[in-house]
Amino acid sequence: MWALLLLWPLALGFSLDGSQAPIIYDDEGSTEAGDDSTRRPGPRSFPGQPCANDSNTLEVPGSSRALLLGWVPTRLVPTLYGLALGVGLPANGLALWVLATRVPRLPSTVLLMNLAAADLLLALALPPRIAYHLRGQRWPLGEAACRLDTAALYGHMYSSVLLLAAVSLDRYLAVVHPLRSRALRGQRLAIGLCISAWLVAAALALPLALQQQTFRLSRSDHVLCHDVLPTGAQASYWRPAFTCLAVFGCFLPLLAMLLTYGATLRTLAASGQRYSHALRLTALVLASAVVLFAPSNVLLLLHYSNPGPDAWGDLYAAYLPSLALSTLNSCVDPFIYYYVSAEFRSKVREGLLHRVPGAATAASREGCSPVTGTRSSSLV
């Protein structure tokens, strides 16, 4: 929850001296003190009122406009997305290739391949979003692309969470019930868990592809993608859609991870120093998932808990960087699930060296030899 506490005052523009009046940046770049009387709290995205003569143009309060066009969404958010893309794309792409070609196709491997694929697809959905934010909140690709990219962003992110929960269940069965789960932990269970995760994520993201999300900001050339939505649509359409997304796509999977990894940690701790490394890795997996995914979804539900006047104000401004922070989990997963293993790193080197002339001879001189087994794709 520390990330939530840090992002809230940052996104609302609190000054370093403790003043809570946000700085308003108009389209010409001038500044003025924010007027609290102009704030109108809304549910999910910034609430917008359609203009009388153009339903595709929305008017937003002055404080919301300033936060929407400020440095957090136009500089900090694309920086976080860029980090997720720059690290997550090559790391997950290489991991998926090694898992698919160099590791025996065990049930745990199937789960990790799907996790790497979800994180890879999430990284591929980020370039249009980065361009949008760097262009000062100007979406360049049209309505259909906005819907598809938004649905892909959320769908792949929550499929990653659901697959993490599936991996935690597999770890739990392997560590806590190793004998009784021998018959259960097969290809059929792994494939079933993966299909279920993808189907649930697709169903949760589907509403994002079925509703208009690009609107022009009044008195400007800004074409917004998903960041400002009509107030009426937020209450009737987006509130139930995003409540289901947060509950079924994040909180229930995180609860499953807490329960299964909690039992796994107790079993490993009782086994003594032999499994101390696996104990630390399991704790790291659980902590990273909670820290990176919980803040954005807590903010999401806070929007809907009391969207009336004098409630949460411009809370969406804190949600934007917290959502970008969630995508960094796609960078963390490869290193705590794959590259932490010396055997997996050996398979990466083996695969890469086989593509370089003379590499096999160099590898033999360095004492590298092919490694057999499957524990490269497992934490425990």
Region 113-118: what's the mean pLDDT? 94
* Residues 56-73 as b or e (16 or more Cβ within 10 Å = b): ebbebbbbbbbbbbbebb
Region 105-120: what's the mean pLDDT? 91
Residue 49: φ, ψ to 5°: -100, 125
Q: What is the pLDDT of residues 156-207, one digit of tens each?
A: 999 999 999 999 999 999 888 888 777 788 889 999 999 999 999 999 999 9
Joined together, the tokens standing for residue 261 give 């990894």
Whether residue 33 contacts residue 24, with contact meaning beta carbons closer than 8 Å, is answered with yes
Half-sphere exposure of 210 (CA within 13 A, CB side): 10
- Is 3 part of a structural domain of the chain? no
Does the pLDDT at position 304 exceed 90? Answer: no
Does residue 67 or residue 372 have the better pLDDT? Answer: 67
Region 9-35: what's the mean pLDDT? 37
Q: Of the ranges 55-59, 97-101, 156-160, 317-321, which is most confident?
A: 156-160
**Residue 161 lies in domain:** 52-377
* Amino acid 169: pLDDT: 93
β-partners of residue 58 are 50, 217
- Is 66 part of a structural domain of the chain? yes
- Percentage with pLDDT > 70 across the chain: 73
CB burial of residue 302 (10 Å; 0-12, 13-18, 19+): middle
Region 301-329: what's the mean pLDDT? 73
Does the pLDDT at position 313 exceed 80? Answer: no
Q: Which of 25-34, 60-69, 274-283 has the lowest mean pLDDT?
A: 25-34
Joined together, the tokens standing for residue 155 give 């769908």
Average pLDDT, rounded, for the chain: 77
Identify the band that residue 110 occupies on the pLDDT scale cut at 50, 70 and 90: very high
Q: Tell me, letter by letter, the H, E, C secondary structure of 164-215.
A: HHHHHHHHHHHHHCCCCCCCCCCHHHHHHHHHHHHHHHHHHHHHHHCCCCEE
Q: How many other CB atoms are there within 10 angstroms of residue 297's CB atom?
A: 23
pTM of the complete model beyond 0.85: no
What DSSP designation does 272 have?
Answer: G
Q: Which of 39-43, 67-71, 216-220, 238-242 has the lowest mean pLDDT?
A: 39-43
Count H helices, E strands: the chain?
16, 7
* Amino acid 45: pLDDT: 58
Whether residue 377 contacts residue 338, with contact meaning beta carbons closer than 8 Å, is answered with yes
* Amino acid 352: pLDDT: 76
Whether residue 118 contacts residue 165, with contact meaning beta carbons closer than 8 Å, is answered with no
- Is 133 part of a structural domain of the chain? yes
- Is 140 part of a structural domain of the chain? yes
* Amino acid 191: pLDDT: 94
Region 96-124: what's the mean pLDDT? 90
- Is 2 part of a structural domain of the chain? no
Region 19-24: what's the mean pLDDT? 34
Q: What is the pLDDT of residues 218-255, one digit of tens each?
A: 878 888 998 887 776 666 677 788 888 999 999 999 99
Q: What is the pLDDT of residues 72-84, one digit of tens each?
A: 888 999 999 999 9
* Amino acid 67: pLDDT: 80
How far is Cα 134 from Cα 79, in angstroms, rounded to an integer? 9
Number of domains comprising the chain: 1
- Percentage with pLDDT > 90 across the chain: 35
- Is 11 part of a structural domain of the chain? no
Identify the band that residue 329 occupies on the pLDDT scale cut at 50, 70 and 90: very high
Does the pLDDT at position 37 exceed 50? Answer: no
How far is Cα 329 from Cα 122, in angstroms, rounded to an integer? 10
- Torsion sign (Cα): 94, 96, 101, 107: positive
Does residue 152 or residue 365 have the better pLDDT? Answer: 152
Q: Of the ranges 136-140, 208-212, 250-254, which is most confident?
A: 250-254
Domain containing residue 214: CATH number: 1.20.1070.10
- Is 200 part of a structural domain of the chain? yes
Q: Cβ contacts of residue 259 below 8 Å, gap of 6+?
A: none
Residue 15: φ, ψ to 5°: -80, 160
Identify the band that residue 311 occupies on the pLDDT scale cut at 50, 70 and 90: low
- Is 326 part of a structural domain of the chain? yes
Does the pLDDT at position 271 exceed 80? Answer: no
How far is Cα 171 from Cα 175, in angstroms, rounded to an integer? 6
